[in-house]
Structure 1
Amino acid sequence: MRPPPSPSDMADAERLRDLIPGAIGVLVRRGADFASAEDAVSEALLEALQAWPEGEPRDPWAWLVTVAWRKFLDGVRAESSRRARELRVHAEPSPAEVGDFDDSLELYVRCAHPALSPASAVALTLRAVGGLTTRQIAEAYAVPESTMAQRISRAKRVVAEHRLTEPGDLRVVLKVLYLVFNEGHSGEVDLVAEAIRLTRRLAAAVDDPEVHGLLALMLLHHARRAARTDDVGRLVPLVDQDRTCWDTAMITEGVEVLQAALAHDQLGSYQAQAAIAALHADAPTAAETDWPQIVEWYDELLRFDDGPIVRLNRAVAVGEADGPRAGLAALADLDPATPRYLAATAHLQGKSGDHARAAELYTAAARAATNAAERDHLIRQATRLRHPAS
């Protein structure tokens, strides 16, 4: 028996995954329910992995839609007693379906339906839009595969119960993609790279400045990834990062994507965040960071997100631009229970010269930290202030 083909046997494995959202969208538009459409496309993909190494079809998109539709119909015929309506049969995709991104966009929107919890929306997006297996998603989130399978099944049932009768909210889609990005990576699935791949695909087909703003933000953050930890896995703050480890090509792309988005003169939250990230990436050294301009961009961001996290980050920027006392004054109106409040206050107290108070606050922040790497970093900061010679 021939061994299963490896990804290298495919002409372009990633391009094959890019066909998934549109194919599912076509089946849903023809009358398939969401779960059955996703299952049929998955079966067609397995058949593609078996057949395509012998010779890729002239039109992979048409092949995938045709085979998936036939597999769906086979399932319907096998359970004809459950059939609720007459289904329209297509031997080949119509010209309107071929290359039409509307089906893919609808699938993005379905997976980001407001009736879903954020965790379920992320899982369903990775499964249906990203084409990842349930096992891969479970490993990325460090949960049992059975748990993830149940989560995805429940999400599919919710989506099936809520038909889209009007255009979905693209902003919800972007929020879900950003949630995927912020999950980081684990196991064989790099969720950061997957989020960038999906957002890049969306940006290639949707002329919306905020979609491009989110892509720019992801690229600019991801470009600094290699410098965020040292050789033993400890966190390295931005001021101490080795900037020669930053991915300059990715930074360049991120800045170009951002500039194109800003040219629309339709500023949004993701564009403002990307502008802040670009200013950090543009500074040759930490000392050369343009903090006054960063404060200005935080002021713009507050127009769209007047939340405590944005205000906390702005206060830190004010402390760098106008001095630690100004930063502490900007923190005064925030709830001390705000995440990172203690760490930010400790940072500004340390810059003001009150090392004893800063060390106390870093220790308190370490006790409140839920992440081991962050806790280690905060403890090291407290130790550095208490024992500067060491």
Structure 2
Amino acid sequence: MNGRVLILSWEYPPVVEGGLARHVRKLSEELVRQGTEVHVLTRGERPSELRAGVHVHRVPEPQWPRDLDRFLAWVRAMNDDMRRAGTALAEEHDFDLVHGHDWLVARAASALADRIGVPFLATIHATEHGRHQGWVDKPPQSKIHATERWMARRADGLITCSHYMRGHVADVFGVDESAIAVIANGIDPGDLQPVGDLEALRARFAAPDERLLLLVGRLVYEKGFQFALEALPAVIAKVGDLRFVVAGSGTHEAQLRKQATELGLDAHGTFAGWIGDDLLHSLYRISDLCVVPSLYEPFGLVALEAMASGCPCIVANTGGLAEVAPSDDVALRFRSRDPRSLARMMVKVLTDEPLRDRLVAQASEHVLRFDWVDVARQTRGVYAELIAANPGAIVSRP
């Protein structure tokens, strides 16, 4: 499919709120390399530009509010601005398809697809139902859930990042599972290069004779960091010299800090707060173990990044993590929500050097399966199917 697509995302570099921005950037750039003309409509103060072959169009928006009720109003205003900007773009270009990423841009993406007369494809990266363990019956969660359900039923095509998410989306939103394409997220090991003096960085967090444990991600309940902290006293009692770093920020941070204090862990670790990619990539390189204890995980990018960086991994046997780490050859797996199971696994990895070496070696081969070239090729296949099923669309030429 060598046509022209319009991709909507609420974040795109240099605006990076999480993994979505990186995903849309890598996908867009690889689509361009494979012959598709890509226009991304996003937000930001930087002027519109041609970036790595991608036409990036930005609508200026104020900083989004942390209060969720106010955030929903902000999202509505952003969608209105994107719809107007997208309408102007459509007067200059013949788009073959509109591709929206998550509920945050669903209203604008759908409206633009209707106006242009082309298919609307939605990628669902996560759901409010999953993030809140099914508790979506009250505002504001109920409003987000309703938007996601409308998007899933309205879209002409859906993409999820794992087979787990395909089943989850079909079940929660009542859509046909066979109509959902599964395309795993990609990873580029070349993007994971550390920066600076790794020896000095390691010394900031651990002494030479101490093991270093890494926990990274949004500090929210569904990431399960509370179970990792609960496991640590037993691990410290057996391993001895152990330090931990919690890298990230979020609504659960204060509770996690309080829990660490109550467990007597303050002398054993650091809450580093939000960190940039450069520091994160360096932390993967200097850590002896990365733990991903999620309760809900559509995919598991942190585990994939850690494995690609040569850091042994332990992951919960839940959600998309079971597909990112399909066997104990690449990462050990523990029973989700079970700190005793996690503690046993942590002790095992931290005290068995041959095991760590085997995990690193096997994982370095495994991560090569998650190639952006394949991700873009499969996405182009979905584009082609939707366009072929929409004979009224104008097929553009680059």
Do they superpose with TM above 0.5? no
Q: Which has the higher helix share?
A: 1
Greater relative contact order: 1 or 2 (C-alpha under 8 angstroms, separation 6 or more)?
2
Structure with bigger gyration radius: 1
TM-score, length basis structure 2: 0.26
